[in-house]
Chains A and B, each alone.
Chain A
C-alpha cells in the first residue's frame, strides 16, 4: 500500500515535471520589431493606385478623402496579395478582394485589415499592429 502510493506519487511528480518542461517549446523569446512604418507617398500618386512601401506587406492609398493603408496579408492563409486595378487578388488560393478590402470571391474568411495611419509632417506613419474600421481615412 505504501509502496503503491509512493509509486503513484513518483509517477505524478514526474508527469508534473514533464508538463512543466513542455512549457519550454512555447516560444518564450518573441522577436518583435516595431510594426510602425514611416511612409513617404510620391507626389504623383493617383487616387485608386496602390503604393507599396519597399519591404512591407501593405498598400497605401491617397484619394480626395485622405490617406489609408490596407494590409496585403491574405486573411485566408497568409499569402501576400497583389493590388490590381479592381482591388486585390491572392496568388495562393484565388481569393479576390474589392478596393475596400471586402471579399468578393474565394475562401478568405474576412475582409482585408485596414491599418492605422497617422500624419507626421510630410510623411505618414502606418502601424501594422493596429487595425482600424474599414473606411477610416486620414488627412494631414
Chain B
C-alpha cells in the first residue's frame, strides 16, 4: 500500500514537473520575468545576449531622427536580408563554370520565388553599399569619429572594405558575360602593380601584382579555381569576418559612451517631457556600474535625466528602420530584375564591360592608369580616411552636423570645388585625350603618375592643405577633402554608369551607341 502511495505521489510530481516544464524553460531563457516595467525591461536587455549589445538606457539625443538618420541600422538590416536570401540561394547554386550559369538560370526561371529571392539579394546588396557609404558620411560630418571613437572609425572602414569585397565576389557567381569580364578586369587590377614593376624592369625579382592575381584566381585564367575561391570568400570568409567586425563595432559604440553628441546636448534638449516614464520603479541593483568607473564614459558625472530605457524607445526606432529597409528591398526587387546575360565567353568581352555601379568610378580611374586608378588612389583614400581621427584632435562641435571651423558654408564651397575640378578634368580628358595620344612614345611611368586621376587627387589634397592653413584646423581640411572625394566619387560613378559606351567612349546617351 505504502509503495503504491509513494509511486502515486512520484507520478504526481512527474506530472507537475511536466506541466511546469514550459514555464521553467521560459523562466530559464528570460530571467527576471516579463518586461513590464522599466526595471524588468532593463534586466531583460541586460540579460539577453543579443539585446545587451545596446546599453540599457539611451540618451534622448541619440534618438533624434537626424542624429543618425538610421543609416547604421539600415546597413545591418540589409546585411541580414542578404544573409537570409543568400542562404536560400545556396540551396540551388552550384559553383562550377557553366553549371553555375545553368543553376542561376534555374533559380531565375524554375525555382518557385527563386527570381524574387535573387532580386532581393541583389537589391539588399545595393542598399547596403549605399547605406554604408552614407553612414560613413554621417559619422564624418557629425565629427563622431573623434576621441574616444577613433578605433571604431577604423572598424567601420574595415566594414566598408568587407562590404565592397562581398559584393565584388558575389558579382562573379552567375558566371555570365557581365560577371566574367568584371572579374577578369578586377583580377588584372590586382595584378596592376606590374605596371610599375615592368616599367622599372624588376618584375622577375619582385612581383606583388602577379602574386595577388594568383591568390585571387588560383590559376592563370578566370576558371573553376577562381569561381570556387570567390564562392568561398562570398559565402564563408567575408560574411564571417563581417559578422565579427560588426560585433566589435556595436560593442564599441556602447563602450565608447553611446553615440557622439554635443557637450551641451542636455541644455539644448531641455528637460524631458513629463510623459516620459523615467524610472517608474527604482532599480533594484545598479546595472549602471559604468557610473563608478573612471574615465570618459557616458555615465560619469551625469544623471539619468536625459536618458530613456532602450526598451522600448530605441528598439521601436530600430524596428522601424529595419521594416523600412525590408520594404525598400522588396519594392525594388518587385520592379527590377537582377541581370543575367549570356553564359561567360572567355574569347569575346562584353562591350562595354562594366563592373557593378559602385566600382564604375574606379573603372573610370583605371581607364587612365590601371595601377594608380585601381590600387594607388584607393589605397591613398583608405589611408587618408583611416588617419582622419588621429589628425583631427579638436573637440569643438563634436556631434553637430557639419561641425567644425567653416561649417556648412565650407562644405558648400568644397562641393563646388570638388564638382568643378572633377568635371573640368574629365571634360578636358574626354575632349582632348591624354599624354599617350599626344606623345605615343612617352615612358609609361609618366602616364602612370601624371594622369587625370592623380592630378585630381593632388588638386583635392592641395585644396585641403590650403583649408588647414586658412582655418588653422585639421577638421576644416578634413571637411574639404572628404566632401571633394565624395563629389569626385559621385561624378566618376555617374560618368562610368551613364556616359560610357562601347570601347569606353563618351556618349551623351546610350541611344547614341553604335549598333553592331
Contact A93 B349 (CB under 8 A): no
Q: Which A110-125 residues sit within 8 Å CB-CB of chain B?
A: 110
> Which residue of chain B lies nearest to A103 when distances are taken between CB atoms in the complex?
B436
Beyond known contacts A25-B218, A80-B346, A109-B369: 7 more, CB 8 A cutoff: A27-B219, A56-B347, A77-B185, A79-B185, A90-B503, A91-B503, A109-B448
B460-479 near A? 1/0 per residue, CB < 8 Å: 00000000000000000000
Contact A79 B184 (CB under 8 A): yes
Contact B219 A30 (CB under 8 A): yes
CA distance A55 to B181 in the complex (A): 17
Query: Which B residues are CB-close (under 8 A) to A49?
Result: none
Contact A109 B447 (CB under 8 A): yes
A61-100 near B? 1/0 per residue, CB < 8 Å: 0000000000000001111100000000111111000000
Contact A102 B444 (CB under 8 A): no
CA distance A76 to B447 in the complex (A): 13
CA distance A104 to B448 in the complex (A): 16
Contact B504 A92 (CB under 8 A): yes
> Which residue of chain B lies nearest to A26 when distances are taken between CB atoms in the complex?
B215
Contact B352 A91 (CB under 8 A): yes
Given the known interface contacts A107-B367, A107-B370, the answer about A92 and B440 at a Cβ–Cβ threshold of 8 Å is no
CA distance A55 to B346 in the complex (A): 9
Given the known interface contacts A27-B218, A77-B184, A106-B367, the answer about A91 and B349 at a Cβ–Cβ threshold of 8 Å is yes
Query: Which A residues are CB-close (under 8 A) to B503?
Result: 89-91, 94
Interface residue B220 (Cβ < 8 Å from any Cβ of A) = yes
CA distance A90 to B363 in the complex (A): 14
Contact B185 A92 (CB under 8 A): yes
Interface residue B368 (Cβ < 8 Å from any Cβ of A) = yes
Contact B505 A79 (CB under 8 A): no
CA distance A92 to B347 in the complex (A): 13
Contact A92 B349 (CB under 8 A): yes
CA distance A55 to B444 in the complex (A): 31
The size bracket of the interface on B is: 35 or more
Contact A91 B351 (CB under 8 A): yes
Closest beta carbon of chain A to B380's beta carbon, Å: 19
CA distance A29 to B86 in the complex (A): 30
Query: Which A residues are CB-close (under 8 A) to B176?
Result: none
CA distance A57 to B220 in the complex (A): 14
Interface residue A43 (Cβ < 8 Å from any Cβ of B) = no
Query: Which A residues are CB-close (under 8 A) to B437?
Result: 104-105
Closest beta carbon of chain B to A22's beta carbon, Å: 10
CA distance A41 to B440 in the complex (A): 32
Q: Which B171-202 residues sit within 8 Å CB-CB of chain A?
A: 181, 184-185, 187-189, 192, 195, 198-199
CA distance A127 to B220 in the complex (A): 16
Contact A31 B188 (CB under 8 A): no
Closest beta carbon of chain A to B425's beta carbon, Å: 15
The size bracket of the interface on A is: 20 to 34
Contact A107 B368 (CB under 8 A): yes
Query: Which A residues are CB-close (under 8 A) to B436?
Result: 103-107
Query: Which A residues are CB-close (under 8 A) to B12?
Result: none
Query: Which B residues are CB-close (under 8 A) to A93?
Result: 363, 366-367, 504
Query: Which A residues are CB-close (under 8 A) to B229?
Result: 25
> Which residue of chain B lies nearest to A89 when distances are taken between CB atoms in the complex?
B503
Query: Helix, strand, loop or mixed for chain A's interface?
Result: loop
Query: Which A residues are CB-close (under 8 A) to B350?
Result: 91
CA distance A76 to B181 in the complex (A): 13
Query: Which A residues are CB-close (under 8 A) to B184?
Result: 77-79
Contact B370 A109 (CB under 8 A): yes
Closest beta carbon of chain A to B426's beta carbon, Å: 14
B390-407 near A? 1/0 per residue, CB < 8 Å: 000000000000000000
Query: Which B residues are CB-close (under 8 A) to A91?
Result: 349-353, 502-504
What's the count of A-B pairs with C-beta under 8 Å? 100
Interface residue B348 (Cβ < 8 Å from any Cβ of A) = yes
- Which listed residue, A27, A76, A89, touches B370 by the CB 8 Å rule? A76
Give me the 6 closest cross-chain CB pairs, A-B, nearest first: A91-B351, A94-B504, A77-B188, A93-B367, A27-B218, A78-B188
Binding site for A on B (CB under 8 A): 181, 184-185, 187-189, 192, 195, 198-199, 211, 214-215, 217-220, 223, 225, 229, 346-353, 363, 366-370, 433, 436-437, 440, 444, 447-448, 502-505
> Which residue of chain B lies nearest to A90 when distances are taken between CB atoms in the complex?
B503
Interface residue A6 (Cβ < 8 Å from any Cβ of B) = no
Contact A109 B215 (CB under 8 A): no
Contact A109 B504 (CB under 8 A): no
Given the known interface contacts A107-B367, A107-B368, A110-B444, the answer about A92 and B348 at a Cβ–Cβ threshold of 8 Å is no
CA distance A57 to B184 in the complex (A): 14
Contact B220 A79 (CB under 8 A): no
Interface centre among A31, A89, A104 (most CB of B within 10 A): A31
Contact A31 B502 (CB under 8 A): no
CA distance A56 to B347 in the complex (A): 7
Interface centre among B218, B366, B503 (most CB of A within 10 A): B503
> Which residue of chain A lies nearest to B185 when distances are taken between CB atoms in the complex?
A77
Query: Which A residues are CB-close (under 8 A) to B368?
Result: 107
CA distance A76 to B363 in the complex (A): 12
CA distance A90 to B214 in the complex (A): 24
Contact A109 B199 (CB under 8 A): yes
Query: Which A residues are CB-close (under 8 A) to B220?
Result: 30-32
Contact B366 A31 (CB under 8 A): no
Closest beta carbon of chain A to B440's beta carbon, Å: 6
> Which residue of chain A lies nearest to B194 when distances are taken between CB atoms in the complex?
A109
Closest beta carbon of chain B to A23's beta carbon, Å: 11
Closest beta carbon of chain A to B36's beta carbon, Å: 49
Query: Which B residues are CB-close (under 8 A) to A27?
Result: 214-215, 217-219, 225
Contact A79 B504 (CB under 8 A): no
What are 29 A-B interface contacts by the 8 Å CB criterion?
A25-B218, A26-B214, A27-B215, A31-B219, A31-B223, A56-B347, A57-B346, A57-B347, A76-B370, A77-B192, A78-B184, A78-B185, A78-B188, A79-B185, A80-B348, A80-B349, A89-B503, A90-B503, A91-B503, A92-B349, A92-B352, A92-B353, A103-B440, A105-B433, A107-B368, A107-B369, A107-B447, A109-B448, A110-B198
